[in-house]
Amino acid sequence: MVRSKYFAGLSGLLKTATLENPNLVGQILELNPQEETDALIEKLEDSSKISKYSRIRYVGDRCLVCNWSEIDKVDDKEIPWKDNGVYLISGGAGGLGLIFAEEIVQKVKGAVLVLTGRSTLTSEKSGRLKGLEINGNKIIYKQVDVSDKVAVSILVKEMLDTYGTINGIIHSAGIVKDNFIVKKPKEEFWEVLAPKVAGVVNLDLSTKDVALDFFIIFSSGAAVVGNPGQADYSAANAFLDAYAEYREILVDLDQRSGKTLSINWPLWENGGMKVDEESEKLMMSRLGITPMLTSTGINALYRCISSGEVQVMVVEGLLKRMRQKLISSDETSDVFPKTMTNSANRNNNESESVHKKLSEGLVQIVCKVLKVQEKDIDNNSDLNDYGFDSITWTEFANRLNQEYELDINPTLFFEYSTVNSLCDYLIKEFPSNFTYMTQQQDLKAKEEKVDEETVPTTINMAAKKKKQFKICEAYYK
Ligand SMILES: NC(=O)c1ccc[n+]([C@@H]2O[C@H](COP(=O)([O-])OP(=O)(O)OC[C@H]3O[C@@H](n4cnc5c(N)ncnc54)[C@H](OP(=O)(O)O)[C@@H]3O)[C@@H](O)[C@H]2O)c1
């Protein structure tokens, strides 16, 4: 049971793999280890029919699926820090570490904040830390690599010897090294995993006998929805989420103390980790998520604590789209794959007409992105040869998503890199998105269609992971 929680960390990797190659579908199945082969095969087949669920648990004869639900409004804001408290923030001199260090010193007096990182502090950072020593609070920076077990246990011992206790931990250390799976060297994968995976285990084990008030882990939305180029980072964060669940079990067994909370943050507007503008747009068009304001993030942390949940995903953006994309409906019709109108069922004339119109549309978009002439594009030539790079591929994906109401990632273009192959793929996979082309509708009329979602209102929402797996009634016979 506990080991299965570790493996749940793989879900982030599988989700990213699917985004990088849509032909690949991954699911984590939690099964009885004594399962007979026939029953196992049956469960594998059954699970493949509900591939939209990435984590499925079979308990006896029941099939449970893991899902998200929106958190009820939490009125109380629980502030976890207190006067004279002693806090350890791993990665504390990074973007979010400093935001929360600043928040803590404004809220309490006489606290000690020990921030860790691998680097020596620059004079600019030292100055910033000095500036945080207000209200009698003390800030100490320790050059400690959190993935180093011995170094972490020495640091914890030093803190206990010097201050007598540690009241809370924020595990914020992390790095990113974006690269698609097909190009990712093994070393890079381990480098990204180290601060999160080894880091959380080291911090937890070295404080297992300390009477903590909280153990807060900074995870990422990438663990939940995946992110192209971030297979390692998604896996590392999904591990953090699973570890939080595991630690909370130990708390119930009186083997640990303090509330465990893993927060799946979205991109922060003023965090240390950044993405390029086109990737931001893609996140907005695919999921409705916009970069989160600092004030939203700080409030969200307090609300997450007050919710009493172990894992909370926080998002800010277009509420309607986020609900649609992040919270699956459990209705019967959604559980079973919908029967899609297959383009093969259409008559040949219609298919040709759709293909022709779509390929013309694709060429126009290619030309807008690359600023080249339509006459220069050959529908069977590799588009990479026209000068696409990672940014322009992302822009191309953004424009296609917007124009045809799709939900595709730029990694798709690795496999479908000519206008014709891309056209065939899109028509096969998203037939209903192009039916209007056979109905002689003018593209312009479609563009003018009012879509309330395109009105840029910013609303924030917090979604929580349901603690219990839900019975997949419709699916279960
Ligand atoms: N910012 C966002 O938008 C965002 C979104 C989702 C999730 N998150 C998560 O929130 C956390 C903080 O993000 P951030 O924006 O503050 O990133 P950041 O500015 O890059 O800070 C991360 C810090 O972690 C430290 N670090 C890395 N490896 C370490 C190790 N092995 N031991 C000790 N310290 C280590 C780095 O310092 P050294 O290089 O000196 O070690 C760095 O200061 C990360 O875990 C990230 O995954 C952030």
Span 130-183, pLDDT tens digits: 999 999 999 999 999 999 999 999 999 999 999 999 999 999 999 999 998 988
CA–CA dist 119, 92 (Å, integer) = 11
Q: Which residue owns the Cα nearest ligand 1 atom 21?
A: 94
Q: Cite the DSSP H helix spans in 371-430.
A: 390-404, 412-415, 419-429
At the topology level of CATH, where does 343-452 sit? Answer: 1.10.1200
CA–CA dist 18, 411 (Å, integer) = 10
Radius of gyration of the CA atoms of the chain, in A: 25
H/E segment holding residue 356: helix 348-370
CB of 261 within 8 A of CB of 38? no
With CA atoms as reference, report the closest residue to 233 among 263, 180, 268, 189: 189
At the topology level of CATH, where does 76-318+459-464 sit? Answer: Rossmann fold (3.40.50)
Render pLDDT for 407-458 as a digit per residue (tens, 0 to 9).
Answer: 888 888 988 999 999 999 999 888 888 877 765 444 444 444 433 332 222 3
Q: Which residue owns the Cα nearest ligand 1 atom 34?
A: 117
CA–CA dist 382, 377 (Å, integer) = 10
Q: Which atom of ligand 1 is nearest to the CA of 291?
A: 3
Looking at residue 268, the DSSP 8-state letter turns out to be: B
Contact 147 CB / ligand 1 (< 6 Å): yes
Mutate to test the pocket of ligand 1, among 89, 114, 118, 311 (most ligand atoms within 8 A of CB): 118
Strand ranges across the sheet with 459-465: 68-70, 459-465, 311-317, 259-265, 214-220, 168-171, 86-90, 112-117, 138-143
Render pLDDT for 40-80 as a digit per residue (tens, 0 to 9).
Answer: 999 999 898 888 888 888 887 788 888 888 887 766 678 99
Predicted confidence at residue 347, as pLDDT, reads 59
Alpha carbon of 422 to ligand 1 centroid (Å): 37
Alpha carbon of 172 to ligand 1 centroid (Å): 6
Average pLDDT, integer, range 466-470: 43
CA–CA dist 453, 112 (Å, integer) = 46
Q: Which amino acid is at 84?
A: N
Predicted confidence at residue 21, as pLDDT, reads 83
CB of 263 within 8 A of CB of 314? yes
Contact 92 CB / ligand 1 (< 6 Å): no
Alpha carbon of 94 to ligand 1 centroid (Å): 6
Whether 343-452 and 76-318+459-464 are alike in CATH topology: the answer is: no
Residues near 141 by Cβ (< 8 Å), separated by ≥ 6? 92, 93, 114, 115, 116, 117, 121, 125, 126, 129
pLDDT band per the 50, 70, 90 thresholds, residue 337:
very low
Residue 285 has pLDDT above 90, yes or no: no
Contact 296 CB / ligand 1 (< 6 Å): no
Tokens linked to 427: 């028509």
Residues near 207 by Cβ (< 8 Å), separated by ≥ 6? 156, 166, 169, 215
Q: Which residue owns the Cα nearest ligand 1 atom 37?
A: 117
- Degrees, nearest 5: CA angle 429-402-69: 75
3-state secondary structure string across 62-128: EEEECCEEECCCCCCCCCCCCCCCEEEEECCCCHHHHHHHHHHHHHCCCCEEEEEECCCCCHHHHHH
Q: Which atom of ligand 1 is nearest to the CA of 194?
A: 31
pLDDT band per the 50, 70, 90 thresholds, residue 351:
confident
CB of 240 within 8 A of CB of 223? yes
Residue 127 has pLDDT above 90, yes or no: yes
Domain boundaries, the chain: 2-68+329-335, 76-318+459-464, 343-452
CA–CA dist 110, 159 (Å, integer) = 15
Q: Which residue owns the Cα nearest ligand 1 atom 44?
A: 174
Alpha carbon of 260 to ligand 1 centroid (Å): 19
Mutate to test the pocket of ligand 1, among 148, 218, 230 (most ligand atoms within 8 A of CB): 218
Looking at residue 159, the DSSP 8-state letter turns out to be: H
Q: Which amino acid is at 390?
A: S
Contact 218 CB / ligand 1 (< 6 Å): yes
Alpha carbon of 378 to ligand 1 centroid (Å): 45
Instruction: Quote the pTM value.
Output: 0.81
Contact 273 CB / ligand 1 (< 6 Å): yes
CA–CA dist 293, 460 (Å, integer) = 10
Q: Which atom of ligand 1 is nearest to the CA of 173?
A: 24
Predicted confidence at residue 32, as pLDDT, reads 85
Render pLDDT for 97-109 as a digit per residue (tens, 0 to 9).
Answer: 999 999 999 999 9
pLDDT, the chain, mean? 85
Looking at residue 397, the DSSP 8-state letter turns out to be: H
Residue 4 has pLDDT above 70, yes or no: no
Residue the block writes with tokens 């699973």: 242
Backbone torsions φ then ψ of 33, nearest 5 degrees: -60, -20
